Structure formats: C-alpha cells, structure tokens
Copies of this chain bind each other. A is one copy, B any other.
Amino acid sequence: MKSFKTRLGNIIFEHDTAAAKLFDVVLLWAIVLSVVLVMLESVASFRLRYGGPLRGLEWLFTALFTLEYLLRLYTAYNRAKYIRSFYGVVDLLAILPSYLSLFLTGTQYFIVIRSLRLLRVFRVLKLVQFVGEASILTRALRASRAKIIVFLVTVVTLVIIIGSLMFLIEGPANGFHNIPVSVYWAIVTLTTVGYGDIAPKTPLGQFFSALVMILGYAIIAVPTGIVSVELSRAEKAAERTCTHCDNSHHDSDALYCKRCGKAL
C-alpha cells in the first residue's frame, strides 16, 4: 500500500487520477482569481472601496500557495530538482512578493509574476495533444534561432542608423529630442505599431519615414517566413516512419502506412 506522502505527491504532481485532476482545476482557478485580484487592486477606485477585503483575499491566496509550495517540497521525489526547475522557481516567485511587501512598499504588484503559473495549464492538459503542440512550436523557434539572431542584429543596426538620420532631419523641435527617442520612433515605425506620439512633421522627414515604412513591409515578412518554414519542417519531423517501406511522411494520426498499407 502506498504511503500518505506518495499518494499526496501523486495528487499534486500527477494529472491522471480524479483527485489529481480536481486539484489541478482548483489550483488553476485559484491562480486566475489571485491574478485578477492583484489587477483589480491596482485600480484606484476599487482599492478605495474594497481595499480591506481585497487585501484579505490576497493574503488568503498567498497562504494557500505557500501551503501548496511546502507540500510540493515535502512530496517531491527529487527536492533539489523541483526547486531548480522552471515551475519550482515560478512557484516560489509567486509567493515571495507578498511577504516582501511587509517590509518594502511597491513590491505587491510583483505578485502578477503569479500569472506565469498559468503556464502550468500546459502540464495539466498534457493528456491531450497540447504539450506536443507546444514542443513543436518551441522546436520551430529554436531551429530558427540562428536566423532570428542575424535578423535582430540587422534590425538593431538599422534602427540606430534610421533613428540618427531622423534626429538630424527632424530635430528636437519636432519631438525627436535625441537619438534614443528617435531610435524608439524607428522601432515603433518599423514594427508598424505607429503610436503617433512622435511623428515626422517636415516634408523630408515624412518622405524618409515613408521609405522606412515600405522597408518595414519587407522586414516584417522575414520572421513570418522563417517561422512558417521552420514550423512546416518541425511538423514533418514529428511524423512517423514506416518500417516496411521507409516512407517517413506519415501524419501523427496515421495507423497504417499510406504507401504499402502495413500497420505502423
């Protein structure tokens, strides 16, 4: 018969039994609610009217998450590994700011780090295909890392040159106060965000901006192209190979080889 510690560990760390699933659902809702609470607390009118209850609920959630963290520490197979894992660090960061806020003001808003715990939803849903999908996405992004670095260095060089030129063209009088601000404008423009808090006013500046925007057209196409190609390659790599005819282009849901008809 399994010990109490093992059974508790199964509920907390696994996602297969009914009790474990209930625990997961309750935990996810608690995370969502506590994040919503912190967000609401930052709204002045809410804080003034419901300040007391809000703080009370926040400490309740902090107590619950602290208890959960201690239970995880107690039941973990490999304590050191859990503490150093991504989820272990996030679990600790999710409760620290509350305690820090007793000594330091301003730290209570760091509680939103808690929202990182939402990523735990991928774990919980691992029974379905989600983790596989996430790992395809991750693999696609990792495979195009080299291209993305080349792309980013080029973009950074470009926005510094563009920003400096616009600083010389438009000057402080038209809102381009200095080169860093002009570089900020260049990024806002190249990424097609376009706040309009800084916008060219001289004809030459507007002409040059138009060139930058059309350049941005081409540039925004590059990461999209990279990700498309890598995604399509990662998907292919995730397919399965037939042991009879060596055909490797099978979809993940295939039961029989589509070339020779043998079972996979």
Contact = CB atoms under 8 A, between A and B. Distances in A.
Contacts of A106: 168
Interface stretch (A5-13, A52-60, A187-195): A187-195
B109 A130 contact: no
Nearest to A191: B213
A38 B183 CA distance: 13
Interface in A12-44: 35, 38-40, 42-44
A220 B43 CA distance: 30
Give this chain's copy count. 4
Interface in A198-226: 199, 203, 206-207, 209-210, 213-214, 216-218, 220-226
Q: Secondary structure at chain A's binding surface: helix, strand, loop or mixed? A: helix
A177 B227 CA distance: 36
B167 A42 contact: yes
A38 B179 contact: yes
A261 B226 CA distance: 30
Contact of A259 (B168, B206, B255): B255
A216 to B, nearest CB: 6
Given A191-B216, A214-B187, A206 B223 contact: no
Interface of A: 35, 38-40, 42-44, 106, 109-110, 112-113, 115-116, 118-119, 121-122, 128-130, 133-134, 136-137, 140-141, 146-157, 160-161, 164, 167-168, 172, 177-181, 183-184, 187-189, 191-197, 199, 203, 206-207, 209-210, 213-214, 216-218, 220-232, 235, 249-251, 253-263
